[in-house]
Amino acid sequence: MATIAVDERPPAGARGPGGPPGRSSRRRPGSRLKRRNTLIGWSFILPNFVGFAVLTLVPVITLFYLSLTSWNVFGAAEWVGLDNFARLLRDGSYHTALTNTVYYAAFHIPLTLAASLGLALLLNRKLRGVAFFRTVAFFPYITSIVAIAVVWNMLFSPEFGPVNQFLGALGVENPPGWTTSADWSMPAVILVSIWRDMGYYMLLFLAGLQTVPAELYEAARMDGANGWQRFWNVTIPCLRPTTFFITVMLTIQSFKVFDLILVMTNGGPGQSTLVLSQYIYAKGFVENQFGYASAVAVSLFLICILITIFQFLWNKRRDA
């Protein structure tokens, strides 16, 4: 009987058992699609990452390096190690600026939080012209900080300002000197800052209030809860994410306050309103001590990071 020889070799380009593919093998469509999606993703990420690297990452790394050097722009940076940070411990002006910054933040954060929440509750009602009043409340936030500082300095004028004239009409014999007084300059700055910022945070609270289910208020009302009980047991818990976000933003903003104080008081009288951001500016751009100014900036950066981490841990613990 005749036998037929069968060629068991795989055809050209086919993968053998455990063997490599042939030269003419084609890529799987899934691999090409995955590669294409990866390239598209990087094309979206790369421009933003380049901007972040050039404008944020590289300057921050440079800041940490300069904080360990003595550099005055006109010469090469001289490595001094931790000498700048040791100098911070002996610098009385730095201690004053740090104390004033904490003082400002301790009053600005809770008072702005309370004012913006109260304004949001007031303007969350269905009233005639409520959109106009929301715009009026938000308008100071987008107004030039220089214009705000100049106008409020005129209002706080000890002799001719409307504020002291009003206090005098009420019977106050010795009204405060406000921005010309070492005792009242920081409270004056805090009041102006609250007035300017509360409109912006009011909008954030309004967005949070409009997400609170109306059924919760109705259920609380049917259970006999009064207005305060509904606010404390329904509104406040539902606003916790919004309140946490606003608190973090207010904390960072308060510790890096600069422009309003620079225009209103320029750190005075004396050093009564000197804050860390202004101290960094003075040491770096006025006295050309960029190494020491970088060390002050690093200390401010670390303070903000530590406080923010504490806030996140505290919020996480309350959610647990």
The tens digit of pLDDT for each residue in 175-208 reads 999 999 999 999 999 999 999 999 999 999 999 9
Pairing of strands 78-79, 69-70: antiparallel
Lowest mean pLDDT among 71-80, 175-184, 224-233, 286-295: 71-80
Q: How many CB atoms neighbour CB 215 within 10 A? A: 8
Shared domain for 57 and 113, answered yes or no, is: no
Same domain, 44 and 113: no
**250 within a domain of the structure (yes/no):** yes
Read off the pLDDT of residues 256-271 as tens digits, 9 standing for 90 and up. Answer: 999 999 999 999 899 9
Please compute, for residue 277, the number of CA atoms within 13 A of its CA located in the half-sphere on the CB side: 17
Residue span of the structural domain in which 148 resides: 84-319
> pLDDT grade, residue 35 (50/70/90)?
confident
Answer yes or no: is 25 within a domain: no
220 and 144 part of one domain: yes
On whether residue 3 sits in a domain, the answer given is: no
**Cα separations in angstroms, 27 against 17, 32, 38, 41:** 18, 7, 16, 21
pLDDT of 83 strictly over 70: yes
Q: What is the pLDDT of residue 77?
A: 86
* Domain assignment present for 108: yes
pLDDT tens track for 240-258: 999 999 999 999 999 999 9
Residue 277: what pLDDT?
95
Q: Is 297 within the bounds of a domain?
A: yes
CA atoms of 98 and 181, how far apart (whole Å): 20
- Same domain (yes/no): 45, 131: no
- 152 with 53, same domain: the answer is no
Q: What tokens were used for 255?
A: 């510790």
> Rounded mean pLDDT of the chain?
88
Would you say 260 and 149 are in contact if contact means Cβ atoms under 8 Å apart? yes
- CA atoms 258, 277, 304, 54: torsion sign: positive
pLDDT at 32: 84
Contact 134/206 with Cβ under 8 angstroms?
yes
* Backbone dihedral angles phi then psi of residue 91, each to the nearest 5 degrees: -90, 110
Residue 277 counted as domain residue: yes
Same domain, 41 and 162: no
**Before 269, cis peptide (omega within 30)?**
yes
Residue 26 falls within a domain, yes or no?
no
Q: How is 264-277 classified by DSSP, letter by letter?
A: HTTT-STTTT--HH
> Hey, which of 16-20, 115-119, 227-231 has the most confident mean pLDDT?
115-119
Rounded to an integer, what distance in angstroms lies between the CA atom of residue 259 and that of residue 184? 19
Are 44 and 132 members of one domain?
A: no
Q: What whole-number distance in Å separates Cα of residue 224 and Cα of residue 108?
A: 36
Residues 257 and 196 in one domain: yes
- Cβ distance 12 to 24 under 8 Å? yes
Q: Is there a single domain that holds both residue 208 and residue 148?
A: yes
Q: Residue 1: pLDDT band by 50, 70, 90 thresholds?
A: very low
Structure pTM? 0.84
Tokens at 311, concatenated: 């806030």
Phi/psi at 74 (5° precision): -85, -10
- Determine the length of the chain: 320
With bands split at pLDDT 50, 70 and 90, how would you rate the model's confidence at 295?
very high
C-alpha 286/C-alpha 184 separation (Å) is 27
Alpha-carbon distance 257 to 278, whole Å? 8
142 with 40, same domain: the answer is no
| CATH number assigned to the domain comprising residue 203 | 1.10.3720.10
Rounded mean pLDDT of 112-132? 90
The reply to whether 192 falls in a domain is: yes
Cα–Cα nearest to 203, from 246, 264, 259: 246
Structure confidence at residue 160 (pLDDT) = 87
The answer to whether 253 and 201 are in contact (CB under 8 A) is: no
Q: Is the pLDDT of residue 2 over 50?
A: no
Asked if pLDDT for residue 4 goes beyond 60, the answer is no
136 with 44, same domain: the answer is no
Q: How many structural domains compose the chain?
A: 2
Statement to judge: residues 46 and 90 lie in one domain:
no
